Structure 1
């Protein structure tokens, strides 16, 4: 696989040219934060950022998605017949996502693409995506990616990894999809030994800047019932307001609800993101709710990420260490503190 160097102007011009073959998504500044948007003529990409507030998860797994359509008109020959809604599974390139978000896609993949269950729409969008990561020269203070199997320049799950070398980008192709994308870009040159050495120095310096570390290796050996019945859950949940911010910002949450919506005899079956933090998530038609208490929902969120997932897949926790939930929780509930509580119980 090749390593190419582009000036920053060359890189920005190059990704604009990709629009003829890909839907291209880039981070842009939106007020006080950054978000991913589709690249258009007036879009100004901004790769000088720590991380987007919302993860790029929605580019593969839309927040709201039409699954099927149907007619409620009894005179229609297709009355009450579900027909799959049209979808666009064309190639797309997500430019500048952080390695923790690529790690997040891999975690979700274990749920949506495994021998027991395959979500056909998620799988097709993911396979059509080329992920161009941007290493973190300056990891944010709430990041703990290195504690959950990642790192600020982790390559797993990416097709290309970019190194920001001040006035240029070193682009490292990691897969055939990545090589194909780089081959479509004009300009650039083969990386020299000096530039490769500089990239390694940037990587090493970034790893040393991650100050937040937690031990997740002990969780697999913990007794699930003892953790479930631990006394700290009610105290932990006391401040929670069940806003769901943690779940909607998280790159590794995948829960959804399905609803039918009808307007003038035309119906849509829609899948929407949902969250275990909401009281309605487990409300039965009978009125019974097995998680009616706030502490039960808080416990479910953390037990699923840090214990149930670990026991089911045996491949680390259901967390990429991006730190969004820590940074934006309005009452300062911190998953790193929860890990410490579970470790010490």
Structure 2
């Protein structure tokens, strides 16, 4: 089995605001709230250690002030960490030369913010092509590439419209296309849909998933909305007070919250949207009948069929072998009575 590929690695990362020369004789292990307060310092990030795998959608979430946006700004080089290591594709951002960081931002990483930040005097095509214009790419070449992205993000027919002629969702699609025009390996999105109306927000979440299925980027997505997180995430990091409290799959966070803070995020989430059949199947039963359901399917995807069946339904693993069964009682307890 090949070694996991982690293009983003954080090790004991701190971001401290204030006169950090006061930390000269203080080891990270001794940076308690009392020590920081005594030195007049504020920790926006505390001992953040995590790995983000290539090609996954990694969501960072937490309440306002939890440190999630500070962390993503450190990852993009917009904010300089105070202590620890932050390695992007083998290059440590704490020691990288400024020229290399600029090169990385131009070609290997890209970011989408909540504020669309479109240039009002440029058309959709011009806004999307703007990063290549900054790089000195010729007009014909950059506009040809921008035209491809106009179609990719569903804006066909609007290439020559100006931002004020677009809806909020359409403007965000322009921002997404612009962030992709350099074909970055790593794609950062800082609450990109939070300013949109709920229906448009859901539409843009679906658009993100569609693009990711086609492009296979490494995605780091910031949100404070757990509904949004569970829809798009492969894994989720929950932050509090600048620290990462828990990193897990949506299902893992629901089944095994590390503490009450994490449990509070998951308490109101419908279990059938998060839990897989594998998490609740029973042993193989001689009573099981009918075509099997997939162990990897979400409970909500198979609930109607299981509830309508007179006997338990067989469950198949990835190789097609029957690995268990699923009956009405498990569905009822999960969907209507909670999951123990």
TM-score range, shorter chain: under 0.3
Quick check: which has more Rg, 1 or 2?
2
- Greater RCO, 1 or 2 (C-alpha within 8 Å, sep 6+): 1
Q: What's the TM-score, normalizing by structure 1?
A: 0.26
Q: What's the TM-score, normalizing by structure 2?
A: 0.26
